[in-house]
Amino acid sequence: MPSIRSLIAFVFVATACGNDRASDLELVQKTVIDYFAGISQHDHQKMIDATTDDFVLYEDGMVWNNDSVFREMDRHRFSVTYTFENFKTSIDRQLAHTTYFTTADFIFDDTVKQTYHFIESAAFKRSGDVWKMTFLHVTTRSERAGQQPRYDTIQYAPEYYAERVAQFKTEPIEKGRIIFLGNSIIEYGNWRKLLGDSSVINRGVAADNTFGVLRRLDDVITRQPGKLIIEIGINDVSQSIPNEIIVRNIKAIVDKVRAASPKTMILVISLLPTNDDVEKEYPDAFNKNHISLEINRQLQKKSKDGSFVYVDLSKQLQDANGNLDRKFAQPDGLHLNDEGYKIFVRLLRSGKYL
């Protein structure tokens, strides 16, 4: 990956107000640039140096300070390039104000590219020979042609995710095993009992999504599994992450494992349907079976390149209406009961994957 520093590009159009103020205009603009360079470089200190102790950031109705911005930055794996234009700055002795446009080109988890366009304004106080930003207001330019929608990529339970990942790191590295990888549907399966194999490794994390799996994939690759069974995506669907991003992430999971562990047999299990009971406990997943079905179609198509085996479990578990059959489901309409897991294993065995 190229250096973050090499990715940053800046374009300024400054308002000149005479030679005496030219240096202050440049310093004010440099403060903005330094702050966002801190984000690009994941450099908290650079951001602190550019702001006052009581700095506040407003973004599309949300209120942040530096500490909350740092926490949000640390939750995501990203690189970003910022381009600034049309700076209009005014200075009155110890105070300054500027407005400008920003384009932010993000890459999340080394795979997902997103571009955002913002209108921003900032206020500053002079501190000795430097200017410190006291306030920043960021508004999305949603009317811009081609503006892509913004969506949350963080798992539903990030604290639990962190606990599970920490637990995984304490376990011994055993190579060549069967690993089940995914969300709660994987985590809640008693795979060792179901398969009669005490060496099976469970790498399910409840509430996880494809972005979370990509972040913790090194734990799987290190173990060089003999067989890897992946079931992931329903939480992405619930979060309204676009289909193409979900499919791209699942294929990225496959490709990263394939590149680092070429002898691993990789199975991708279809996204499973839900039933109407899901509306009460998991309303974000309600009435989205058509989305899961389309993702399954795309996954099946992707499997034709031979990088993974697509296993259609959804057909085995659905009722006549295409919903998760209640005889295989927990009362929440999303998770599998014991009978559902038996069907899961029976399908794997019938395909001679186990």
The residue behind tokens 């080394």 is 110
Please report the pLDDT score of residue 149 as a whole number: 57
**Phi and psi torsions of 63, nearest 5°:** -115, 130
Alpha-carbon distances of 78 from 3, 75, 165, 211, rounded to whole Å: 12, 10, 19, 11
pTM: 0.68
In whole angstroms, what is the distance from residue 307 CA to residue 310 CA?
A: 10
Write the single-letter amino acid at 340.
G
Which residues have a Cβ under 8 Å from the Cβ of 142 and sit 6 or more positions away?
Answer: none
3-class secondary-structure state, position 62 = strand
CB 85 within 8 A of CB 218: no
Element holding 127 (H helix, E strand): strand 112-127
DSSP state of 336: B
CB atoms within 10 A of CB 208: 29
CB atoms within 10 A of CB 198: 7
In whole angstroms, what is the distance from residue 186 CA to residue 206 CA?
A: 8
CB 89 within 8 A of CB 96: yes
Taking residues 263-287, what's their average pLDDT?
97
pLDDT-derived band at 9, boundaries 50, 70, 90: very low
pLDDT-derived band at 11, boundaries 50, 70, 90: very low
Which fold is adopted by the domain 4-140?
Answer: Nuclear Transport Factor 2; Chain: A, (3.10.450)
Share of the chain above pLDDT 90, in %: 78
Write the single-letter amino acid at 263.
K
In whole angstroms, what is the distance from residue 68 CA to residue 51 CA?
A: 14
pLDDT-derived band at 113, boundaries 50, 70, 90: confident
Q: What are 48-88's pLDDT values in tens digits?
A: 999 999 999 998 778 899 999 998 898 888 999 999 999 99
Long-range contact set of residues 25-30: C-beta below 8 Å, sequence gap at least 24 = 25/89, 25/91, 27/130, 27/131, 28/89, 28/91, 28/96, 28/98, 28/124, 28/131, 29/84, 29/87, 29/89, 29/98
Which residues have a Cβ under 8 Å from the Cβ of 305 and sit 6 or more positions away?
Answer: none
Specify the domain boundaries for CATH 3.10.450.50 within the chain.
4-140
Minimum mean pLDDT range among 28-32, 134-138, 153-157: 153-157
Q: What are 162-216's pLDDT values in tens digits?
A: 999 999 999 999 999 999 999 999 999 999 999 999 999 999 999 999 999 999 9
Nearest CA among 16, 44, 28, 344 for reference residue 186: 344
Alpha-carbon distances of 110 from 43, 137, 161, 164, 255, rounded to whole Å: 19, 28, 20, 23, 13
Q: Sort 216 into a burial class: Cβ within 10 Å, 0-12 / 13-18 / 19+.
A: middle
Nearest CA among 123, 132, 139 for reference residue 58: 139
Please report the pLDDT score of residue 148 as a whole number: 54
Please report the pLDDT score of residue 333 as a whole number: 98
Angle between helices 289-302 and 243-260 (to 10 degrees): 40
Specify the domain boundaries for CATH 3.40.50.1110 within the chain.
158-350
In whole angstroms, what is the distance from residue 189 CA to residue 291 CA?
A: 24
In whole angstroms, what is the distance from residue 241 CA to residue 224 CA?
A: 30
Secondary-structure class of domain 158-350 per CATH: alpha beta
CB 51 within 8 A of CB 125: no
DSSP state of 324: B
| Mean pLDDT for all residues in the chain | 90
Dmax over CA atoms of the chain, in Å, equals 81
CB 200 within 8 A of CB 178: yes
